[in-house]
């Protein structure tokens, strides 16, 4: 049994990823979760968190969780796991509790989160990471861990030793984690997979695995992911895999039973991360002169559905992509 670290970790976000990382890290460090979802916070405080593991087994955790900023301890590590539209607020809250020598780490989906974080906590205290862990909230206090996946943290000038300590801590918690020199390749690789899977599952309200089984879903998914690879290539960024279509399909199959985070948001009429995913692809596509028609259409349709204006008839809207 490892001795518990003296590090104070504050996790911003009490949804699927915040709860997953909180449950794992609570066994190896002092962890506090902070968020704004009343039902989840009340359930975690009163009953704890039940996690259904990928093998079907269950584990129960008692976690420190609050929605009161004044109750947060001074943090050595602020782990940002909120939705992208909440990053600016989380950055301000993290800056208020982060120790001078502390570091804030984003493992969020999409682009732009690191920049928002660095703007508030300082560029020398903001670190980029990615994770391929998959999780779904079934109900407040109930989490399904849909699939294991690697986590990566990018080095930060002057903070390598500190981040190495975080990497070691994550690995002790059973979260496979490595350090890399530059996260651009990983961030854009994850963006390709997110752009392929998340909006399509959200629009058609299907779990990840259905995209691999249905040819029409699969074409949309691969079309969106391929556009991301093209935009990345135009910037001189190589993805961490050579076959973007094959890799996206692999992830889809490996997380077959998972309901993507965007589908979870749509299901509970919450704002999605479509702007930080497909919206970012479209923006960078315009900058680099790379056409992104699939991402543009997905961006438009998800925003329509998010606003309650969707009259989507499956596939009719996408006719030109299925010829």
Of 4, 190, 303, 305, the catalytic one is: 190
For residues 55 and 283, give the distance between their C-alpha atoms in angstroms, rounded to a whole number.
40
CATH number of 185-321: 1.10.1040.10
pLDDT in tens, 268-289: 898 999 999 999 999 999 999 9
* Mean pLDDT score across all residues of the chain: 92
For the entire predicted model, the pTM comes to 0.90
pLDDT of the residue at 310: 62
Per-residue pLDDT reduced to its tens digit, 156-192? 888 899 999 999 999 999 999 999 998 899 999 999 9
- Examine the residue annotation and report whether 190 is marked as an active-site residue of this protein: yes
Give the per-residue pLDDT at 132.
87
Instruction: Provide mean pLDDT across the span 250-254.
Output: 88
Tokens for 254?
């490996």
Angle CA 170–149–93, to nearest 5: 50
Confidence of residue 317 (pLDDT cuts 50, 70, 90): low
Q: Answer yes or no: is pLDDT of 25 > 80.
A: yes
Q: Which two tokens stand for residue 183?
A: 């996260």
Q: Which of 3.40.50.300, 3.20.20.140, 3.50.50.60, 3.40.50.720 is the CATH number of 8-182?
A: 3.40.50.720
Whether 7 shows a pLDDT value over 80: the answer reads: yes
More confident residue, 205 or 317: 205
pLDDT tens digits, 70-125:
999 999 999 999 999 999 999 999 999 999 999 999 999 999 999 999 999 999 99
Residues 9 and 80: their CA atoms lie apart, in Å, by 11
Q: How much of the chain is helix, strand and coil, in % rounded to 5?
A: 50, 20, 30
**What is the pairing mode between strands 126-131 and 151-154?**
antiparallel
Indicate the domain borders of the chain: 8-182, 185-321
Mean pLDDT of 1-27: 91
Burial 98-115 (b: 16+ CB within 10 A, else e): beeebbbbbbbbbbbbbe
Q: Do domains 8-182 and 185-321 have the same CATH topology?
A: no
pLDDT exceeds 60 at position 60:
yes
């Amino acid at each position: 049994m490892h001795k518990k670290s003296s590090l104070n970790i504050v996790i911003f976000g009490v949804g699927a990823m915040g709860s997953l990382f909180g449950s794992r890290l609570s066994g190896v460090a002092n962890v506090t979760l902070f968020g704004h979802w009343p039902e989840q916070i009340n359930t975690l405080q009163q009953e704890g968190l039940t996690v259904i593991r990928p093998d079907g087994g269950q584990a129960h955790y008692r976690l420190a969780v609050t929605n009161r900023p004044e109750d947060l301890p001074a943090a050595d590590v602020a782990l940002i796991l909120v939705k992208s539209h909440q990053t600016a607020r989380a950055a301000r809250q993290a800056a208020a509790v982060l120790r001078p020598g502390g570091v804030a780490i984003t493992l969020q989906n999409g682009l732009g989160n690191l920049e928002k974080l660095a703007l508030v906590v300082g560029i020398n205290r903001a670190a980029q990471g990615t994770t391929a862990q998959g999780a779904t909230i079934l109900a407040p206090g109930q989490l399904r861990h849909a699939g294991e996946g690697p986590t990566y943290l990018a080095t930060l000038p002057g903070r390598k030793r500190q981040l190495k300590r975080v990497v070691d801590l994550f690995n002790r918690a059973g979260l496979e984690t490595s350090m890399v020199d530059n996260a651009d390749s990983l961030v854009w690789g994850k963006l390709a997979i997110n752009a392929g899977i998340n909006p399509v599952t959200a629009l058609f309200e299907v779990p990840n695995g259905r995209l691999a089984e249905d040819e029409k879903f699969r074409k949309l998914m691969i079309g969106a992911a391929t556009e991301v690879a093209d935009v990345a290539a135009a910037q001189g960024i190589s993805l961490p895999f050579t076959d973007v279509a094959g890799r996206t399909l692999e992830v889809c199959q490996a997380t077959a039973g998972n309901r993507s985070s965007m589908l979870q948001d749509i299901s509970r009429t919450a704002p999605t991360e479509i702007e930080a995913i497909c919206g970012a692809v479209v923006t960078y596509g315009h900058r680099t002169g790379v056409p992104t028609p699939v991402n543009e259409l997905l961006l438009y349709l998800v925003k329509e559905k998010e606003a309650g204006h969707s009259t989507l008839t499956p596939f009719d809207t996408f006719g030109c992509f299925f010829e």
